[in-house]
Amino acid sequence: MTTLVACSHGTSSPDGRAEIVRIREGLARTLPEVKVREAYVDVEQPEVADVVAEALGAEHGAPGSSDEPGAPVVVVPLLLSTGFHTSVDIAAAVAPHPGALAAPALGPHPGLVRVLRERLAEVSGGDAGHRPGDHVVLAAAGSTDPAAALAVEEMRAQLAAHLPCPVSVGYGAGCSPRLPDAVAAARAGGARRVIAASYVLAPGHFAGLVEKSGADLVTAPLGAHPEVIVVAAERFRSAADALAVTAS
């Protein structure tokens, strides 16, 4: 049985933890032939490197294991953009193991754009982003990795293609502009209503920064939306197929 290591950032927020559990449960329902395990890169335990090593050890006949020997391990980052945690923490967790592979981060992806659009429709009677004078700020966590900013910009472009209003980007940390500055810039540019589209996965520290950004409206995190589960499952399947080709 292939193991899917669902690796999230980790949070001290009970609501955030519950949302990540719902994502893992959704993956287990979508992929019944796969064993889904939890892992984290920060705040919570177990750490991703330990989970990968333990899963491979068990699957290769460690004492007490009931897992099938030789089954691969795929780490699916429950992270919206590439960055330090994907390129360093998760990459280091799979690097020593030929039987393990990391899938890309969840975004950018058209499925996530659909979730953002639905979250926008949930606020202000469904007209957020469509009223004259609106400006949407795609509110991302942020990273010092330049590749993360490129990924967020791609998401911004995909979202903007579906909205009649301007769409810009603001970050909680790691790079500029920071969220309050992005909101202020939108107002200075003539926006009458600024909507922060939360490009975060679950409640927690960064969701709190979005809520405090000064925007007139703030959408909910993406959460365990069915599209999020579909995207994560797609990332898993592609990585598992690549791992099978390598093994053959």
Instruction: Report pLDDT digits (tens) over 145-166.
Output: 999 999 999 999 999 999 999 9
Q: What is the pLDDT of residue 244?
A: 87
Q: Is the pLDDT of residue 28 over 80?
A: yes
**CATH tag, 110-218:** 3.40.50.1400
Q: Is the pLDDT of residue 189 over 70?
A: yes
Map tokens 């293609």 to a residue. 161
Domain locations in the chain as residue ranges:
3-107+225-247, 110-218
Distance of CA 88 to the CA centre of its chain: 16
Fold match, 3-107+225-247 / 110-218: yes
What angle, 0 to 180 degrees and rounded to 10, lies between the N-to-C axes of helices 146-160 and 110-122? Answer: 60
DSSP class of residue 83 equals S
71-128: pLDDT as tens digits: 899 999 999 999 888 989 999 999 999 999 999 999 999 999 999 999 999 998 889 9
Mean model confidence pLDDT for the chain: 93
CA angle 22, 230, 127 (to 5 degrees): 85
Topology of the domain comprising 3-107+225-247 = Rossmann fold (3.40.50)
Distance (Å, whole) CA 231 – CA 54: 26
Q: What is the mean pLDDT of residues 158-187?
A: 97
* Res. 1 pLDDT band, cuts 50 70 90: confident
Q: Is the pLDDT of residue 20 over 60?
A: yes
Q: What is the mean pLDDT of residues 210-236?
A: 98
* Res. 135 pLDDT band, cuts 50 70 90: very high
Assess whether the previous peptide bond of 108 is cis (omega < 30° from 0): yes
Q: Is the pLDDT of residue 70 over 80?
A: no
- For the whole prediction, is pTM greater than 0.85? yes
Tell how many helices (H) and how many strands (E) occur in the chain: 9, 8
Q: What would the 3-class secondary structure string for 115-183 be?
A: HHHHHHHHCHHHCCCCCCCEEEEEEECCCCCHHHHHHHHHHHHHHHCCCCCCEEEEECCCCCCEHHHHH
